[in-house]
Structure 1
């Protein structure tokens, strides 16, 4: 899962980032309106965690922009304000959940997972594609009901492909999904190939088909 945390309290921002990364997510951060706005309109995210009060703007305006641009991301508002008016406005403009500070990071994580399940898995705890079954909460993948041992990157790739089946995924999109902000430090996407090769071998070993189709000079498409 790829998460963007928009929060001006640097200590809380880092606490959330470290906790979410420990859960196996890619977690990027923005501490003000300007940097948050640039990220949400350029990069894709599964979940946005948005503070209302930012030093140079309102988190509610970021949510409005996300909805106007039809960006498909789950949204959780975090705020020190417990005012019913803010909650109502947040939900009316498209937020999925509202959490009042202070809160436990475990509760935030549980709410993120619940939103992701509703959006991607239609409320289920797993996703299925033919002989492939993925249980994201446990980072497990099964081929023909047999568990296969994948690295973190291999799991992220197969999960990304299955969730986006039948869609063209550029090499840039795959790399950015796997490495987040760090992808800006590289000038090549060749590091994707060994991960893909190992993933294909492991799937084939358990009798799975190769649904990963290369699109020359562009990227990949996963599907029948």
Structure 2
């Protein structure tokens, strides 16, 4: 899971990043509206953690920006403003959930996972694609019942491909989802090809079909292969 934390409290930022990182979640940060809007328009995220009280304005204004996106991330509002009006306004404007500060990091993680399951997996704990079964909660995947020995990045890649099936994914988009926006400065995305190659090999060795199509000059597409 890749999220964007929009928050200006440095101590809270550090605590959330460290906690989510230990849970295998990639967490990027924006500390004001300007930086947040730039990242939202430039990169794709599974979920946005949105504080309302930011140095340059109200975080609710970003919900109008998010509505215009082709691929819309989920939004979890985290704010010390705990009035009923703030909560209602946020949910009415498109937010998925509201968590008042202070909160336990374990509850934040549980809310994130619940939102992710609802949006990506329609509330179920397993993803099925023909002979491939993925269990995001346990970070496990299997083919014909045989568990795959995947690295964390390979597992995240498989989930990303399945949840975006039949959609052409550029190498840049894959890299950003797995490693964050710092990949913009890398000279090439050869490491994406290597992870794709390793994932293909492990699925094949377990008896699975190759559902990946290389779209030359662009990236990859995961889905049923026409006979």
Q: What is the distance in 1 between the residues matched to 2:130 and 2:54?
A: 45
Q: After the TM superposition, which parts of structure 1 deviate over 6 Å for at least 4 consecutive aligned residues?
A: none
SS state at 1:78 partner? strand
Q: What is the distance in 1 between the residues matched to 2:160 and 2:110?
A: 21
Please name the residue that 1:189 is paired with.
189
Please name the residue that 2:40 is paired with.
40
CA distances 1:27-71 after superposition (whole Å, capped 9, x unpaired): 100111110010011111000000000001111001122124354
Please identify, of 28-37 and 177-186, the stretch whose mean Cα deviation from structure 2 is larger: 177-186
* Aligned counterparts, 1:56-205, within 5 A: 56-205=56-205
Using structure 1 for the length normalisation, give the TM-score.
Answer: 0.97
Q: What is the distance in 1 between the residues matched to 2:159 and 2:135?
A: 9
Cα RMSD of the aligned pairs, angstroms, is 1.0
CA contact (8 A) 2:43 2:181 kept: no
Q: What is the distance in 2 between the residues matched to 1:40 and 1:182?
A: 15
CA contact (8 A) 2:166 2:222 kept: yes
Q: What is the distance in 2 between the residues matched to 1:165 and 1:175?
A: 17
How far the C-alpha of 1:167 sits from its partner, in A, is 0.3
Using structure 2 for the length normalisation, give the TM-score.
Answer: 0.96
Q: What is the distance in 2 between the residues matched to 1:51 and 1:168?
A: 33
Aligned length: 224
